[in-house]
């Protein structure tokens, strides 16, 4: 079955630097790969979606890459701010049927 790996260790980044989070999967590539942000005690918030045939997607300070050869997606936040501190989840939509397979998330801490 499909497994998703995200760094379980918290990622500490200095304010202003670029934060890079990793999402690796084990089996065949999904139709879509999505990134969400989750704050403590809150539901996730959708950030970006990238399709299987796309290499890169950008939205303001966010950038997502998708490498189906490496079976990996990278999520970048440039010019990071303390307000970017949260847990970031990646999720795979294997068959375009809306059901998502979720990673456990990586906690990002941006230090001022």
Partner 1 sequence: GAVVSQHPSWVICKSGTSVKIECRSLDFQATTMFWYRQFPKQSLMLMATSNEGSKATYEQGVEKDKFLINHASLTLSTLTVTSAHPEDSSFYICSAVIAGGNEQFFGPGTRLTVL
Provide the binding-site residues for partner 1, judged by CB under 8 A: 32, 34, 36, 41-46, 49, 89, 93, 96, 98-100, 102-105
Are 39 and 86 within 8 A, CB to CB?
Answer: yes
Nearer to partner 1, 14 or 96 (CB): 96
Considering the complex, what minimum distance in angstroms separates the CB of residue 32 from partner 1? 5
For residues 41 and 112, which CB has a smaller minimum distance to partner 1 in the complex? 41
Which residue, 15 or 51, is less far from partner 1 as judged by CB? Answer: 51
Closest CA to 30 of 6, 66, 76: 66
SS3 (DSSP) at 83: helix
């Amino acid at each position: 079955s499909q497994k998703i790996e995200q760094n379980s260790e918290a990622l500490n980044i200095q304010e202003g630097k670029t934060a890079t989070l990793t999402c690796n999967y084990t089996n065949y590539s999904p139709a879509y790969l999505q990134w969400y942000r989750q704050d403590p005690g809150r539901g996730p918030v959708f950030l970006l979606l990238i399709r299987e045939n796309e290499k890169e997607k950008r939205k303001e300070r966010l950038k997502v890459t998708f490498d189906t050869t490496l079976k990996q997606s990278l999520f970048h936040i440039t010019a990071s701010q303390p307000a970017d501190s949260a847990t970031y989840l990646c999720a795979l939509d294997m068959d375009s049927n809306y059901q998502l397979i979720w990673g456990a998330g990586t906690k990002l801490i941006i230090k001022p």
